[in-house]
Amino acid sequence: MQPDTTTDFLIIGAGFAGLVVAERLAAAGWRCVVADRRPHIGGNAYDEVDRAGVLVHRYGPHYFRTNSPRIVEYLSRFTGWREVAYTIKSFARGRFWSFPVNLNTFEELIGKPATTADFENWLAQAREPHEPPRNSEEVIVSQVGRELYRLFFEGYTLKQWQRHPRELDASVCGRIPVRTNRDDRYLTESFQALPDPGYTAMFGRLLGSSPGIDVRLGMDYAEARARFRYRHLVFTGAVDEYFGYRLGALPYRSLRFEAESFTGGGLAAREPVSGKPGFWQPALQVNYPEAEVPFTRIVEIKHATGQQVDATTIVREFPADWQPGGEPFYPIPAPDARAAYQAYAKLAEAEQRVSFIGRLATYRYYNMDQVVGMALAEAERLVETYGKGGG
């Protein structure tokens, strides 16, 4: 089939990467087609109201946070925000623990009140120095010692990646803060908030502000390429898929989500555990690091969205192997996987009039704000290269 429709830019993927590029290019007067094989916009950040009436994040919880005022300013054109303190606990040895590790966790461990100095002395004894830490095990035992590493990190990481922390980059576990005061915030960025009233609504307004964007859902790259003639392709899907897996499939980790909703009596019965009427568990996220439990975490997103509704939905997250055709959620953060990607990166560099951006196309775990930054930079580069469009 010969392409019968002409556009300026064909953009594959309607997630953060694809939609931000499309918006910037459309603002510069270019016509864009955005094609996504899924039946909705938003990529993995997609949220929707479920059957119980609860706003949920379909592909796992997405905690927006950033240190970049420029990115907040850009997204604020399309959304208001609801500030959130993302709260986490860990469940092990039959009880909830304060998490990430802080002075409260230490008191829970020793079973009596303690001071910051007590905890620092204990840590000084417990730490196993590794300078610099070469992997995720070394990073954690050098911060908190082996007991806390075993309690909170080793089993969780093994379940999540099906690789021992020793085989994973230091950055995987190094992202989690450890504090000797009572600050139990999960994240450290200066701006922590969710789009109000949600990611999908924000993307809807982004598209509404840009009449030059034609969105095609349920359309994959092969079909889009057959339908459209274009001057430049922006590809945000998986780089190995783009090249037909000609150097083999890159390894990914996948996830299975199991949602369960509660209303009325079922919800009221949970109050002794959650400590708050209308909630199922005491925090937004509870980690389950023990090997006997098959899921890694339970997320109750209503804690973060602040939605006023007489129901709640919890989602259990089961790590899963990835097969071609499945959802490639996480690139594997390990040296062998990165080396395999480098071969594809060379092929990608040699492609003419194609940009590879976003999490899958660059085979790297990026937070949403980083992907927005990458998309803004690429759009700027494209406008410099091609100039402004005809509108």
> Given the rule CB under 6 A, which residues bind ligand FAD?
12-18, 35-38, 43-45, 59-64, 220-221, 236-238, 241, 255, 329, 358-360, 366-368, 371
User: Which residue's CB is nearer to ligand FAD, number 121 or number 171?
Assistant: 171
Minimum gap (Å) between residue 215 Cβ and ligand FAD:
11
Q: How far apart are CA 97 and CA 87, in angstroms?
A: 12
Smallest CA-to-CA distance from 93 within 292, 254, 235, 347 is with: 292
- Segment holding 32, helix H or strand E: strand 32-36
Minimum gap (Å) between residue 275 Cβ and ligand FAD:
24
Smallest CA-to-CA distance from 126 within 160, 90, 101 is with: 101
Distance of alpha carbon 234 from the chain centroid:
21
Q: How far apart are CA 18 and CA 134, in angstroms?
A: 34
Minimum gap (Å) between residue 245 Cβ and ligand FAD:
12
User: Which residue's CB is nearer to ligand FAD, number 106 or number 366?
Assistant: 366
Minimum gap (Å) between residue 144 Cβ and ligand FAD:
23
User: Which residue's CB is nearer to ligand FAD, number 181 or number 323?
Assistant: 323
User: Which residue's CB is nearer to ligand FAD, number 17 or number 158?
Assistant: 17
- Tokens at 389, concatenated: 């469009």
Minimum gap (Å) between residue 13 Cβ and ligand FAD:
3
Q: How far apart are CA 339 and CA 361, in angstroms?
A: 15
Residue 5, SS3? Answer: strand
- Beta bridge partner(s), residue 55: 49
Minimum gap (Å) between residue 46 Cβ and ligand FAD:
8
Q: Would residue 260 be called left, alpha or beta, if left means φ above 0 and alpha means ψ between -120 and 50 degrees?
A: beta
User: Which residue's CB is nearer to ligand FAD, number 22 or number 141?
Assistant: 22
User: Which residue's CB is nearer to ligand FAD, number 61 or number 133?
Assistant: 61
Minimum gap (Å) between residue 222 Cβ and ligand FAD:
7
Q: How far apart are CA 140 and CA 295, in angstroms?
A: 22
Contact residues for 140 (Cβ-Cβ < 8 A; gap 6+): 148, 149, 153, 165, 173
The DSSP code sequence of 116-162 is HHHHHHHHHHH----SS--SHHHHHHHHHHHHHIIIIIIHHHHHHHS
Minimum gap (Å) between residue 67 Cβ and ligand FAD:
12
User: Which residue's CB is nearer to ligand FAD, number 38 or number 89?
Assistant: 38
Residues 92/76, Cβ–Cβ less than 8 Å: no
Contact residues for 128 (Cβ-Cβ < 8 A; gap 6+): 138, 141, 142, 145, 146
User: Which residue's CB is nearer to ligand FAD, number 15 or number 333?
Assistant: 15
Minimum gap (Å) between residue 41 Cβ and ligand FAD:
8
Residues 169/332, Cβ–Cβ less than 8 Å: no
Residues 295/260, Cβ–Cβ less than 8 Å: no
Minimum gap (Å) between residue 53 Cβ and ligand FAD:
23
Residues 25/387, Cβ–Cβ less than 8 Å: no
User: Which residue's CB is nearer to ligand FAD, number 62 or number 232?
Assistant: 62
User: Which residue's CB is nearer to ligand FAD, number 18 or number 133?
Assistant: 18
Q: How far apart are CA 171 and CA 176, in angstroms?
A: 9
Smallest CA-to-CA distance from 291 within 155, 161, 97 is with: 155
